[in-house]
Chains A and B, each alone.
Chain A
Amino acid sequence: MTAKQNTAMHARRMLALLPYLRQGETLELAELASAVGATTSQVAGDLTALSFCGVPPFTPDEMIDLAIDGDTVTVLSAPPALERPVRLAPREARALVAALEAAGHAADDPLVTKLLTIASAELDPAQLAATLRAGDASAPVVGIYAVLAEAIETGTKVRIGYFSAGSGTHSERVICPHALANDRGAWYVNAYCESACAMRTFRLDRIREAEATGERFQPSVSIDASVSMPAAGLPIAVLRLAPTAPHTEERDWPGATFSVKPNGAIFAEVPYSSATWVARRVAAGLGMIDAIEPAEVRAAVREVARGALAEL
């Protein structure tokens, strides 16, 4: 942020903090900082500045009187006005709609409508929808997301129907969900899978349905919200990609290393946990990607291609 933006955010945070300052209450600085998305030192600075604010004649009873003591602040005298939450400004409403869209809610989702009706009068949702699309809200994962988020919070096991892109198969599993992550717009859940007896990452738009079983598990705080796959120890597939092939970018093959030969051919060494996953992507090259080795992957490519042809 530039200095000018920092000053503007400082002022906006000060205004946003006003409704939190109720007379006689003692508040944790850390909680206030979290509420306004700031650091504890930033919010301490905001509160210090607010303690100099008020209305004329700026007598003690017309000032915001705050006592900051270590990690807490006590409100001795509440703000003389603006004691209730202010509506969202259009740009704030835009941010909220965009975030909900990125989280999987459509622009006409009841939650979006409800928030805009109550909290913002000035944003035209139709105009916004015409100019901004922050996510693929067509993928109906919102309900699945909510089930998983609640299950993580309560430590409840969930039964899911899942399509594995790695194996191309459908299955039913019971999982202990620990963390949610969004990677490049797609949501994932990191969970202990009772069928696999191991930690697994499931993509939410491949979960057909999710239902809490009611059975509890012990949540783990050590499992982070990340979808990165540790490549160490995995077998390596060597691929040759034509320069015009699809999926020639490094981001298309997680953990891969690339080299380009003088004739323009691209070679990729791809770590994989599922030969079928590599094989399906090779087959999708329709002859522009070759699996050079190992034999296991070449055999999987043949199997995928034959299977797809048989479906015609």
Chain B
Amino acid sequence: MPDPGERLVNLALFLAKTPRFVSAEELRGEGLGYPEDQDEAAFLRMFERDKDALRAAGIAVDVDEDGRYRVNRTRTFAGSLTLCAEETAAIRTAVAALAVDEAFPFAADLTIALAKLGQGAAPPVAVATALVDEDPRAQGASAALAAEAIAARKLLTFDYTNAKGEARLHEAAPYGIFFREGRWYLVGLDTSIGEIRVYALKRATHLTVNPVAPRTPDFERPEWFSVAEYSLLPFQYGPEPFDAVVRFSAEDAWRAPRLSGGNGVIEEQPDGGALWRVRAGDARALAAWCVEHGPGVTPLEPAAIVDAFRMGLQEVLARHDR
């Protein structure tokens, strides 16, 4: 049997070179690599797979009203790309390093994307990424599978062990994935409780995409959904969210946008400091966060956080009095 890659390249070249629409039957007879002893149904299945593969490779295949095919040249070829030195530096170093990071769920697609952009050469400087420190290959694979389920809007099932060590099978309508501090997370509607949940993918195993009717979506994602709203800082999780204000000293004001994670609003102050207005869910956790990122980071409002900060530190002093 001919190499499937050869058949696909022959098909791509023929469709790209032929300006007119061509029927499947005609393509079959052109000696592109389809087995001669294949029955009609098997040929059509193979041809459908090949068309899908061409489209997945970025080749736009148009179909006319008679079911014949032609490459759409306008939609197939990329424009001319000119990058400045800074843009090239970003792509050829950071992005290229991710293409070989097994925790990056789109590494294979990224490799091909860089090749198409002519940016796939070895990085000119020493650069490496280790996005995930806990079972990076498994987390990368889980995130990749979840991303496919999100794109196809297919239900996901998986075994999940929560932080308390309780394990059970979950079924979720996957809405989004996000990465934070070395871990991939899935956000989805848990079908057993009808609520949106965030799952750490390091705790999920045996992820399975619903194999029934793969081209038919199982659910619609709500229009209002945005995965960024679930990618929260540790102190933002809590049953009763409230507004908080954190002050950055003048010397540390520049650190506010770096530490905010894009959450909340940062206001410059006349003295050069900054006020960070942010939603919080856990007063004690926010107080701890301020200590950890200090000096120059102090809670202002509400009083519950200031109290947690003060009393917590007094407790620390008492426990380390000598």
Instruction: Show the binding face of A for B, using Cβ within 8 Å.
Output: 1, 5, 7-18, 31, 34-37, 46, 49-50, 52-56, 58, 79-82, 84-89, 91-96, 98-100, 102-105, 111, 114-115, 117-121, 129-143, 145-146, 149-150, 152-153, 163, 168, 170, 178-185, 187, 205-206, 208, 221, 223-226, 246, 251, 280-287, 290-291, 298, 301-302, 304-309, 311-312
Contact = CB atoms under 8 A, between A and B. Distances in A.
Q: Nearest 6 pairs between A and B by C-beta?
A: A286-B312, A184-B182, A138-B262, A287-B315, A37-B111, A95-B106
Interface in B214-264: 221, 225-228, 231, 234, 249, 251-252, 254-255, 257-258, 260-262
Interface in B255-300: 255, 257-258, 260-262, 284-285, 287-292, 294-296, 298
Contact of B55 (A89, A115, A206): A89
Contacts of B3: 10, 49, 52
A37 B106 CA distance: 13
A285 B98 CA distance: 34
A94 to B, nearest CB: 6
Given A131-B175, A143-B86, A168-B294, 17 more contacts: A14-B5, A15-B12, A87-B75, A87-B76, A87-B116, A89-B56, A102-B104, A149-B89, A182-B129, A184-B132, A184-B133, A221-B126, A224-B126, A225-B97, A251-B133, A286-B311, A308-B313
B94 A286 contact: no
Contacts of A92: 58, 109-110, 112-113, 116
B58 A9 contact: no
A94 B125 contact: no
B198 interface: no
B317 A305 contact: yes
A37 B127 contact: no
Nearest to B148: A91
B189 to A, nearest CB: 13
Given A184-B132, A224-B128, A85 B116 contact: yes
A27 to B, nearest CB: 12
B43 interface: no
B161 to A, nearest CB: 15
Contacts of B261: 136, 138-139
B78 A96 contact: no
Contacts, number: 390
17 contacts: A14-B6, A58-B31, A81-B16, A87-B77, A95-B110, A99-B99, A103-B90, A115-B81, A131-B221, A132-B177, A139-B261, A150-B86, A185-B179, A282-B316, A283-B313, A302-B321, A308-B290
Given A100-B90, A282-B316, A133 B126 contact: no
B169 interface: no
B309 A56 contact: no
A180 B94 contact: yes
Nearest to A165: B293
A95 B122 contact: no
B222 to A, nearest CB: 10
B127 A180 contact: yes
A16 B116 contact: yes
Contacts of B115: 13, 16-17, 35-37
Interface string B1-43: 0111110111011101100000000000011100000000000
B147 interface: yes
A284 B291 contact: yes
Contacts of A137: 262
Given A102-B98, A132-B227, A185-B182, A91 B291 contact: no
B75 A121 contact: yes
Contacts of A15: 8-9, 12, 57, 59
A183 B112 CA distance: 24
Given A14-B9, A86-B78, A55 B89 contact: no
B124 A55 contact: no
B319 interface: yes
Given A133-B228, A142-B90, A178 B111 contact: no
Contacts of B81: 115, 118-119
Nearest to B113: A92
